[in-house]
Each structure stands twice: as structure tokens, then as C-alpha cells.
Amino acid sequence: MTRVASDRAVPLAPCQEWYLEYVRSHAHLPPGNALDNTVMALRVKGRLSETAFEETSERISRRHEALRLAVSTRGADVEQIITSRSAAADVVDVTAAADPAAEAVRRINAEQTTRIDLEHDPVFQTRLVRIGPDDHLLMVKLHHFVIDPPAYGIVLRELGAGLAGHAGLAGHAGLAGHGAEHLGPAPSFRTFAEERRRWMSGPTLDRHLDFWFEQLSDVAPRVMPSDVPRGQVGRYRQGHLAFELPEEAGRALAALCAQRHVTTYMALLAAYQILLLLWTPAARSREVIVASPFGGHVEPDEQGLVANLLTRVFIRADLAGDPTFAEVLDRARDASLRAYDHRGVPFRAMVERLRPGWDWSVPFDAKAFYHGNLDLVQRGSPVRMPGLSVTRIPLDRMTRHFVLPDDDGVRRLWQNQNPAVNLAQWGDLIGGEVVYNAETFGSARMQALADDFLAICATCFADPSTRLSALRLPSAGVVEDGHCVPA
């Protein structure tokens, strides 16, 4: 990646390149589509020091360098620096409203759609909305460029420690910091980025690029049948269809994972690979490639680091030969482990190896490398602040909705999207949603997709000896245009 020269510049960590390209490819989004925001609202009851809230927010931003990043992009040139800016923390009083609690939620929902400008705005913003003397709504807002779920948990724990240390001590500003003094120095993001850049270079980088070249240099397109021809779609309107794995299938999944020494993700991946095969027929291949976010915070230098360490891995599967689900699962496990071993390659280095001479003034569509996206997240633990009652408040869902721009490359980026499947696990329960362009796919077709996925899970988790040719899915006869459920 080209960088603007600056003595204060911090090199982009390899993981940052993946998200930065996402930001560049979404730069055309209109106001009201602030999908780069991650916002949480907590109802906090008890004696809470508003002074402690402001000082704790500032302390957290001083502690973690990534929360003070400013990023400037001009064409293909990128510069990021660590600024001296503090968190944007403010206190708002809505006690005079007719319904203070409803007014507090309304204001936080409005805050969701206000974009954070990476170059000019603090990427870490907090707000405390006073509903009553001992009743507040706490908002934490961050830009996805600097945060991922584990890092978000670190910020919430430190914020909770600062506030819990003041529970019952409102007005005692001199005690600011109580409850968080035990925290040692935070890992340096600058050091992390510099060391990762040095490590992911030379022969090490070449070895990883060789692997991905072998995996992704010959990707046969797989396009999911749509209700409207993709080239005729001129708008994007995000649709969501929720589903939940039945308890019996969940128990079978847990038993299967224990028996075959695989993770929950690997088993769900194998089921999703079969779904993609059946829903995206390709004339010359029975291979499918699934993209999946891979989280960091597992290496020693990542522990306690507040930053977005997510990258993508691409998992290729060959489902030729009418395999059993057990065979598909074994292949998914082996392919996943190989992909994990080669994670963290800078995005642009990968593209330049696979698409030599790419013009970086044009955003690159990473979907050229894969057929479907599968994400599994573990639901985090409840936020705890000893001495205070804390409840998470659900906020309105933000969705994309806009007219596709005239730029041919960006239009194709949105027209060619296959639906994504996002899964979440909390305890023994697994739920998820299909996310799709409702201008391209009808709700009945997406319901059929979800029903088929659940049927694959139920059948194959219970009996992993099931062959693909033996699957009988609910959508047979419903989804036309080449849906290839084996006879």
C-alpha cells in the first residue's frame, strides 16, 4: 500500500488493510447508512458519578493508541497517525421529557446513523443520558476500523471498572480513577503494527502468498438464482431473515463435534458448503469457496490489544464424488486449519499477486475470491458493574438502502452479491440470519434458503453418514433456475 510520508505515521497492520478496502468500497454510501459504526446502549441504575464517566472515557482513550487513530485516504494513498485527541464524552439531561427513557433511546438511535469521519472525528465516543437521579442510558460508539468484538469487550470492562469504582460516590471527583488503578500499561498499537509489517514480509510473505495463489487463482463463478436479473437491479435494500437451529439439531451438533474433534464453526461450515453447492450451480466445478472473518487476540502480542484484528480467510472445498457429510466435515476441518495457518496476509499484497497491475484508484471487490460468506460469533458475557444495575438496551436495526451509483465497478459490486449467512452462538443455542438485497431476492426464496440450511444441519448432524445424493430438502420443486438438489 502506498503511504504518505510522515514522521508520525503508523504503518497499517495487515488486518487493517482488509477493513480499509471495505471502507473505500463503501465510500459512496449516502448519509443514514453509517454501517461502520458499532453502537451499544446500556441502562445503568444506581448512584453513578457523571464526572467519573467523563474521566474514565478519557483515560481509556489515552490508554489505547488505536482509539486515537486518524486515517486519511486520498486515492490509493493512506496515512494513519496516533493523535492526542480524547474520547468524545458528554452528558445529556432528558429528565424534562414527557418520557425520559423513550427520549434517551431515541437519541441513541439517532446517534447510530451519524457517521464517524476517520480523518476528523474521534473514533471512540461515549454519551451518558440522564433519565433520572440514579438512572442513566450509557452509549458506547466506536468505528469498526479500530474495534472488533474481543476489543469491544476490553473497552466495556475498563469502562465498567471505572464507573463501578465510583458507585455510591457521586460528586467525589477527587476519586476519579478508583477501580481502574490496577490496570498496567496497554499494549502499543504502533509497536504491534510495525512488528507485524516486519514479520509479514520477505520469504514469510511469499510463502503465504504462494498458498493463497494456489487456493484462489482459478475461482469458478457460482451465482445464486435470483428473482430479478442482477444486471437490472438499480437499488440496494437490505433484507434480513432470522432463523434458529432447533434444540434437537443443536444437541446433535454438540455430540458430533465431540465425536469427530471439530469446532462448532467447522460443522456449520460443512453444512453451509453443501448449501452453496446446491444453490449456486457451476457448470464445470463442484468446488465452493467460503469467506469467513478470522479474529485475532490469540497471539501473545494481541492479548489486551484494543484494535480491529479481524481478517478474512478463504476455505475451499471440493464436494465431488458424492461424499458423506462426515467426509465433507473432515475436509472442512483440514481446509480450515490450513487457511488459519496462512491468515494475516495484507489485502493488497494478496490482490497484487492474484490480479497483477490492479488500479488501486478503483476499489477491489473481494467477492471475486469466494462464493459465500459465513460468520459465527460467540455472544459476549453480560456487562457487569458491581454496585450498579446494568441492562443492555436493544436499538433499532440499521440497514442499507440506496440507489446504486453510476460507476460500473461499484454497481457490479452490489449487483453480484450472494446472500450472506451470519450465525451467533450463546450457550447451546445457535441462531442466525440471512442478509440479502431485497431488490434482487424475494422473501420466499430466502425463506427456502434458510429452510434448506436448517434441513441440512438437522439431517447431517444427526447422521453424518448421509451422502449428498440422499439429501431431500424442503425447497425441492420450489426454487427453480438450476437449483440442483440431487435426485
Give the pLDDT confidence score for residue 104 in this predicted structure: 97
The CA distance from 420 to 453, in Å, is: 12
Task: Determine the straight-line distance between the first and last CA of the chain, rounded to whole angstroms.
Answer: 50
* Pairing state between β 135-143 and 37-45: antiparallel
| Low-confidence stretches of the chain (pLDDT beneath 50) | 1-7, 168-181, 478-487
- CA-based angle 466:467:473, to the nearest 5? 80
Domain borders along the chain are 2-180, 195-470
Give the pLDDT confidence score for residue 31 in this predicted structure: 62
Give the pLDDT confidence score for residue 379 in this predicted structure: 73
Give the pLDDT confidence score for residue 362 in this predicted structure: 77
For the domain with range 195-470, which CATH number is right: 3.40.250.10, 3.40.50.2000, 3.40.50.300, 3.30.559.30? Answer: 3.30.559.30
394's CB contacts (< 8 A; 6+ apart) are: none
The residues pairing with 291 across neighbouring beta strands, listed in sequence order, are 314, 373
Give the pLDDT confidence score for residue 291 in this predicted structure: 94
DSSP strands (E only) in 190-244 = 235-244
SS3 letters across 22-67: HHHHCCCCCCCCCCCEEEEEEEEECCCCHHHHHHHHHHHHHHCHHH
Do 2-180 and 195-470 show the same overall fold? yes
For the domain with range 2-180, which CATH number is right: 1.10.1760.20, 3.30.559.10, 3.20.20.140, 3.30.1950.10? Answer: 3.30.559.10
Q: Can you spell out the DSSP letters for 349-382?
A: HHHHHHSTT--TTS---GGGG-SEEEEEEEPPPP
Residue 401, H or E segment: strand 401-403
Give the pLDDT confidence score for residue 177 in this predicted structure: 41
- Whether the Cβ atoms of residue 24 and residue 73 lie closer than 8 Å to each other: yes
- Decide: pTM greater than 0.75: yes
Closest C-alpha among 221, 370, 373 to residue 284:
221
